[in-house]
């Protein structure tokens, strides 16, 4: 049994993985949507959305894309931004579904241009979203500006949305990016939830998961949760998830501020323990190599299983 069974929930309400079922439109997200729609109406240039780590940028963009008319918009997303300018063109082509592995750069550009022109002729829009854009070097941002210049009959064929942490704004202020800055048609920074919104956010996620006031949450819980998490949605999720586990382990069907304080203290001790382990690892002296005889191969038992591990890239949700 886990806490979803104990509290008769349909799903875990505070997973860290972005999930549109639990999307909560806070006031900052409502304003950000207005900026996105304004930028979209311009049909050209760059739209920039920034926010702190865990502010919900990824799920916000997913919500925005999910509500675009599919027949009128062709979208592509780049999430890995650890590359140079020479790769951005191929990444963009690949994001739109073009296979360009063994093609020279000039051909990749022509094929992408032809693809964008075909979208235009179908009376649709092409939108490229670059997530975690704060990782892009200046050279790659300049290459994106060149891509945004592709046009036909005085109409831009590609619009670029840059989504990232606050460092993105500093990157855009870099010398040599003045032409790109002039092409930004909308820019907005997602702020954390205020105390009232944090309470609404928590209750919204619980109700979406099938919560029927079990466990009961004392009113004093909400200010304590907001104070510790500063209203950052990912931190709220993490704390509330641990809080439900705490109630499950203690077999409690009512949670008060004391429970919140206990969980906060436990999480701080966990974080301090991880920090101590990290510091110890830095000061461990390297061991002298031991010239052991070669090990004999171990025969694999019939019950042994080989499990493939595929690391997932953590999104800002």
* pLDDT exceeds cutoff 90 at 192: yes
For residue 299, the model assigns a pLDDT of 36
Distance (Å, whole) CA 30 – CA 24: 10
Taking residue 139's Cβ as centre, other Cβ atoms within 10 Å add up to 12
Give the Å distances, CA to CA, from 11 to 207, 208, 210, 225, 241.
10, 8, 7, 21, 12
Burial class (CB in 10 A: 0-12, 13-18, 19+), 190: buried
The pLDDT mean for the chain works out to: 84
Q: What is the mean pLDDT of residues 138-146?
A: 89
What pLDDT score was predicted for residue 273? 61
Q: Which domains are seen in the chain, by residue range?
A: 27-190 (3.40.50.300), 193-282 (1.10.8.60)
| Integer Cα distance of 190 and 29 in angstroms | 7
DSSP-assigned letter for residue 299: P
What's the mean pLDDT in 14-21?
Answer: 90
Q: What is the pLDDT of residues 82-91, one digit of tens each?
A: 666 568 888 8
pLDDT in tens, 103-130: 888 888 999 999 999 999 999 999 999 9
Give residue 40's Cα distance to chain centre. 21
Confidence band for 310, pLDDT divided at 50, 70 and 90: very low
Q: What is the pLDDT of residue 278?
A: 53
Give the model's confidence band at 58: pLDDT under 50 very low, under 70 low, under 90 confident, else very high. confident
Average pLDDT score over residue span 23-45: 90
Of 80-84, 244-248, 289-293, the one with minimum mean pLDDT is: 289-293
Question: Which pLDDT value is given to residue 292?
Answer: 45
């Amino acid at each position: 049994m886990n806490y979803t069974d104990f509290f008769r929930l349909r799903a875990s309400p505070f997973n860290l993985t972005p999930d549109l079922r639990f999307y909560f439109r806070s006031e900052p997200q409502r304003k950000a949507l207005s900026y996105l729609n304004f930028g979209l109406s311009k049909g050209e240039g760059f739209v920039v959305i920034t926010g702190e780590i865990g502010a919900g940028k990824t799920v916000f963009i997913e919500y925005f894309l999910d509500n675009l008319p599919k027949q009128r918009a062709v979208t592509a997303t780049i999430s890995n931004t650890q590359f140079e300018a020479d790769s951005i063109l191929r990444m963009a082509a690949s994001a739109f579904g073009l296979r360009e592995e063994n093609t020279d750069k000039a051909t990749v550009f022509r094929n992408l241009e032809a693809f964008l022109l075909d979208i235009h002729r179908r009376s649709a829009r092409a939108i490229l979203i670059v997530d975690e854009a704060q990782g892009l070097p200046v050279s790659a941002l300049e290459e994106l500006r060149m891509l945004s210049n592709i046009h036909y009959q005085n109409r831009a064929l590609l619009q670029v949305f840059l989504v990232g942490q606050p460092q993105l704004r500093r990157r855009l202020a870099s010398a040599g990016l003045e032409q790109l800055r002039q092409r930004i048609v909308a820019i907005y920074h997602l702020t954390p939830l205020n105390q009232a919104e944090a309470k609404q956010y928590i209750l919204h996620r619980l109700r979406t998961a099938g919560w029927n006031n079990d466990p009961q949450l004392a009113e004093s819980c909400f200010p304590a949760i907001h104070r510790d998490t500063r209203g950052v949605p990912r931190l709220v999720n993490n704390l509330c998830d641990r809080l439900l586990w705490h109630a499950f382990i203690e077999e409690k069907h009512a949670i008060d501020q004391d429970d919140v304080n206990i969980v906060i203290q436990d999480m701080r001790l966990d974080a301090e323990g991880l920090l101590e382990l990290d510091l110890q690892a830095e000061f461990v002296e390297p061991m002298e190599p031991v010239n052991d005889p070669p090990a004999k191969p171990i025969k694999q038992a019939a019950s042994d299983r080989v499990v493939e591990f595929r690391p997932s890239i953590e999104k800002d949700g």
